[in-house]
Amino acid sequence: RDLHYPLRRQRQMCIRDRYQRRVRGSTLKQNAMSRYIVMFKAGTSSETIENVIRDLQQHGAKIENRYTIIPGFSAVLSEAHVNNLSSHSEIESIEEDGTVTTS
Q: What is the mean pLDDT of residues 33-47?
A: 93
The mean pLDDT value of the chain amounts to 78
Query: Which of 30-34, 47-51, 58-62 is predicted least confidently?
Result: 30-34
Q: Is the pLDDT of residue 52 over 80?
A: yes
Determine the pLDDT at residue 20. Answer: 46
pTM of model > 0.75 = no
The CA-based diameter of the chain, rounded to the nearest angstrom, is 41
The CA distance from 53 to 61, in Å, is 9
In this structure, how many other beta carbons lie within 10 angstroms of the beta carbon of residue 65? 9
Determine the pLDDT at residue 14. Answer: 52
The CA distance from 61 to 55, in Å, is 9
Give the ranges where the chain is alpha helix by DSSP (H): 5-23, 46-58, 79-86
Q: What is the pLDDT of residues 2-35, one digit of tens each?
A: 444 445 545 555 554 554 444 444 444 445 789 9
